[in-house]
Chains A and B, each alone.
Chain A
């Protein structure tokens, strides 16, 4: 089994979450330093007509920059980009972000599968994908694509997730995926993670 210490040359992080996403991200993202060395791309399922965007909610708690992605924006390190409600988020070969209005996938727009599959296609083995809590199967096909491209897939421990269906589905779909607690994920991103996640 792949271990955390084998993570090398990570160029970007993608995160997918649904039910319980705000609580999980509120634990994962705030400890990150302002100069976190990677771009983080996030797709979460939230109702499109929420008055306050999840990005502005989290920006208030975080030191890294948190924003909704704009079309053809370059993905910069130290920044968390959320897929805007009602748009899929994708990555282009030149590491710019693209939005799309095409049909919902897994009844979801944004869809975690769409983000992960397109990021896997571009970043290949230098991608770290994280699947968090959720009550559906979105993200499982994406996790499989990341694994097949040689990327690393980490999954929130199903028993510690608010909703375990999404982590379970990702672990089942991606043989190389590794379950991990939120605390360990945070730890990986921080102290131990700093050295490992930095590009050599």
Chain B
């Protein structure tokens, strides 16, 4: 088979595999960015001993025990606490003062993976005195990742970086106040997630959560193709209150998104957007 034909076959296999996963398990990866997904599925094939994606599809259809493992390959779970400290510093300095004017708050960490972003925000909100009036919603499509997020246990060797990031983000206390170390792991204070609802949710196929004041969805949309990015940002627009905030990853932008006009770029450097009001009434919140 020529290289050209093999590439075409690979594309067909990928399309069929994603259809199979959706038809049988309702996990919808059909709108994921192909370039990165291809790499991760190639890795899954290699590690799971399948010579082709078609072979992996056969296993997927006939053995559901492989599904959680596959989801770990297909979703990217790389994050650090207080990743991009400038983002958290900007939240502290510019967004928290707005949020303080509300009687109660809802924060959605969309695509929370193993929870680093959630605990970062929970710590920040505690430090800023907002924890008691805030509900957090942490969602992901990957059930394994959600379980890890709920546990809040991270390898101890990662904590040095978390600590440095926390300090650079303008953290008032010491990060060590929020975890205890044992057996090579740092277990984060379970009271930090007292006000968090963990939920299995797909930005590709599930509907909207209501009345959010802040949505933090960083380095999640980069794995989506443009139509799915449009869908997800449309979901965020509908989920946010008027003048609610959307935080994105350091290299993500709404510039190429169909819903860009629904937001103002309030802190462009830190990729923090604000949903426009229906009318731009300066007195409105």
Contact = CB atoms under 8 A, between A and B. Distances in A.
A148 B3 contact: yes
B160 interface: no
Contacts of B251: 68-71, 84, 87, 99
B37 to A, nearest CB: 10
A72 B229 contact: yes
Nearest to A100: B36
Given A70-B255, A72-B229, A102 B36 contact: yes
Interface of B: 3-4, 7, 33-36, 38-40, 76, 78-79, 219, 221-223, 225-226, 229, 249-253, 255-256
A102 B35 contact: no
Contacts of A70: 251-253, 255
A103 interface: yes
Nearest to A117: B39
Given A70-B251, A124-B7, A101 B39 contact: no
A124 B36 CA distance: 17
Interface stretch (A39-47, A88-96, A170-178, A179-187): A88-96
Contact of B226 (A72, A99, A114): A72
B248 to A, nearest CB: 9
B223 A149 contact: no
B221 A121 contact: no
Chain A interface size band reads 20 to 34
Given A102-B36, A102-B76, A124-B4, 8 more contacts: A70-B251, A71-B249, A96-B226, A98-B222, A102-B39, A102-B40, A118-B39, A149-B7
B3 A101 contact: no
Nearest to A115: B35
A91 B79 CA distance: 23
Contact of B38 (A68, A121, A148): A121
A90 B35 contact: yes
B35 A91 contact: yes
A101 B256 contact: no
A114 B39 contact: yes
Interface string A121-135: 110100000000000
Contacts of A20: none
Contacts of B253: 70-71, 73
Residue of B4, B33, B35, B256 with most chain A CB atoms under a 10 A cut-off = B35
Contacts of A149: 3, 7
A36 to B, nearest CB: 23
Contacts of A73: 253, 256
Contacts of A102: 36, 39-40, 76, 78
A74 to B, nearest CB: 8
Contact of A72 (B3, B78, B256): B256
Interface in A98-152: 98-103, 114, 117-118, 121-122, 124, 148-150
21 contacts: A68-B251, A70-B251, A70-B252, A71-B249, A71-B252, A71-B253, A72-B226, A72-B229, A72-B256, A73-B253, A88-B36, A90-B35, A98-B222, A102-B39, A102-B40, A102-B78, A118-B35, A118-B39, A121-B38, A124-B4, A124-B7
Given A72-B226, A118-B39, A101 B34 contact: no
B167 to A, nearest CB: 14
B256 A90 contact: no
Nearest to B219: A101
